[in-house]
């Protein structure tokens, strides 16, 4: 029997196609850092680098500044949400020298044990590399759950002490990465410190319907003081001093139906009619429903002239149950 062609057999469904190779697990931080750092160094300075190792730890801002390396390039990171620095990007002298040499001469000089002092020009020349590293880290999803590496502005800082004066307090995640440069024996190191994202928890809206109803009932049961005004008139003080019990005052145009109920602050609530209940003076509200206003008009009372006083007095006696003495004494 002739041998079966494996390609035809696969097309006819006689055999199963080999499974497509897939990564069973997501990329580790080490792989992400290797990929991002190699791309960043090549794009920013044409430098070939590889990651030798990476370590991380959490420190507060004070410990980061006190225990940080001296003599390195210091770049400050600011996320725009805070007034101070919210991260640091540090590079040691060998890595600084390699980036500067590649950008100025296009090649690396022989390794030297005597490294010159870091200057501000060095910091400025390493900024393109640091910016590219952060962008590449965001591209590969490095620490995406807790950090936004591409959301930072970068600027040179004189030293760690100066950075500590403007750093936002709190905990920081610090990565320390060892690097091999140029495919030879040259090695360098860098540190990245960032604050984790601050998650804003929005409190759930509380059901205030019960509270509102209780407040409404409490307000409905609250006492309200009302004044019943019959009329207003102006008289000289000497005539008021001559008042006697039983004296009758003539009030033109005023009747027992001229009562006005006044609320606190002089606001007019409604009108009423004068009467009595069980031998006591009373008023009958003339409206079936009283509607309170948010800003009702005030009852304008004429200002008494100098040497005079405003008096509230009774109307003409149209109700036989009310006497002048009751009105004057009441």
Q: Give the CATH number for residue 138.
A: 3.40.1550.10
**58 and 182 share a domain?**
yes
**107 and 255 share a domain?**
no
Burial of 95 per CB tally in 10 Å (0-12, 13-18, 19+): buried
The verdict on residue 322 lying in a domain is: yes
**35 and 145 share a domain?**
yes
**51 and 190 share a domain?**
yes
The verdict on residue 49 lying in a domain is: yes
Residue 108, pLDDT score: 92
Residue 25, pLDDT score: 61
Q: In degrees, to the nearest 5, what angle opens at C-alpha 254 toward C-alphas 307 and 279? A: 105
Residue 313, pLDDT score: 42
- Give tens-digit pLDDT for 259-301: 888 887 777 878 888 777 766 778 788 765 555 554 444 544 4
**44 and 161 share a domain?**
yes
The verdict on residue 245 lying in a domain is: yes
Q: Give the CATH number for residue 323.
A: 2.30.330.10
Assess whether pLDDT exceeds 60 at residue 304.
Answer: no
Residue 175, pLDDT score: 95
**183 and 261 share a domain?**
no
* Number of structural domains the chain divides into: 2
Residues 183 and 120: their CA atoms lie apart, in Å, by: 28
pTM beyond 0.75: no
Residues 297 and 263: their CA atoms lie apart, in Å, by: 11
What residues are paired with 112 via a beta bridge? Answer: none
Distance of CA 65 to the CA centre of its chain: 29
- Give tens-digit pLDDT for 137-159: 999 999 888 888 888 999 999 99
Assess whether pLDDT exceeds 50 at residue 117.
Answer: yes
**176 and 299 share a domain?**
no
What residues are paired with 60 via a beta bridge? Answer: 171
- Give tens-digit pLDDT for 22-55: 544 668 889 999 999 999 999 999 999 999 999 9
The verdict on residue 64 lying in a domain is: yes
At which of 177, 194, 211 does a domain end?
A: 194
Whole domain around residue 237: which residue ranges?
A: 224-329
Q: With pLDDT > 90 as the criterion, what percentage of the chain qualifies?
A: 42
Residue keyed to tokens 């609530």: 269
**86 and 126 share a domain?**
yes
The verdict on residue 205 lying in a domain is: no
Any alpha helices (H) in the chain, and if so which ranges?
A: 6-11, 29-45, 61-67, 93-104, 120-139, 160-166, 209-220, 237-240, 324-329
Q: Which two three-digit tokens encode residue 163?
A: 């950075």
**231 and 318 share a domain?**
yes
Q: Which two three-digit tokens encode residue 32?
A: 């992400």
What residues are paired with 192 via a beta bridge? Answer: 89, 175
Length of the chain, please? Answer: 330
Residue keyed to tokens 């190191």: 189
Residue 274, pLDDT score: 78
What sign does the CA torsion over 229, 231, 232, 238 have? negative
């Amino acid at each position: 029997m002739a041998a079966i062609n494996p390609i035809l057999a696969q097309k006819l469904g006689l055999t199963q196609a080999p499974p497509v190779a897939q990564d069973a697990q997501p990329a580790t931080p080490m792989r992400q850092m290797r990929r991002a750092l190699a791309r960043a160094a090549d794009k920013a300075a044409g430098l070939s680098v590889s990651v030798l190792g990476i370590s991380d730890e959490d420190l507060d801002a004070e410990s980061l500044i006190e225990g940080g390396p001296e003599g390195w390039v210091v770049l400050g990171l600011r996320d725009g949400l805070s007034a101070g620095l919210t991260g640091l990007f540090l590079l040691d002298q060998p890595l600084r020298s390699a980036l500067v040499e590649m950008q100025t001469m296009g090649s690396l000089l022989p390794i030297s044990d005597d490294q010159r002092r870091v200057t501000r020009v060095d910091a400025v020349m390493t900024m393109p590399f640091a910016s590219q590293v952060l962008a590449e880290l965001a591209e590969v999803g490095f620490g995406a759950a807790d950090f936004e590496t591409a959301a930072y502005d970068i600027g040179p800082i004189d030293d760690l002490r100066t950075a500590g004066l403007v750093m936002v307090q709190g905990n920081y995640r610090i990565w320390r990465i060892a690097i091999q440069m140029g495919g030879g024996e040259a090695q360098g190191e860098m540190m990245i410190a960032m604050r984790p994202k601050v998650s804003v928890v929005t409190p759930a809206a509380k059901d205030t319907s019960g509270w509102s109803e209780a407040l409404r009932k409490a307000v409905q049961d609250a006492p309200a003081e009302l004044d019943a005004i019959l009329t207003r008139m102006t008289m000289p003080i000497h005539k008021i001093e001559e008042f006697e019990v039983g004296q009758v005052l003539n009030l033109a145009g005023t009747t027992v139906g001229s009562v006005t109920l006044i609320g606190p602050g002089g606001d007019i609530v409604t009108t009423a009619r004068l009467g009595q209940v069980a031998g006591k003076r009373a008023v009958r509200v003339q409206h079936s429903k009283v509607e309170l206003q948010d800003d009702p008009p005030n009852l304008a009372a004429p200002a008494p002239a100098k040497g005079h006083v405003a008096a509230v007095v009774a109307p003409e006696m149209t109700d036989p149950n009310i006497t002048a003495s009751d009105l004057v004494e009441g």
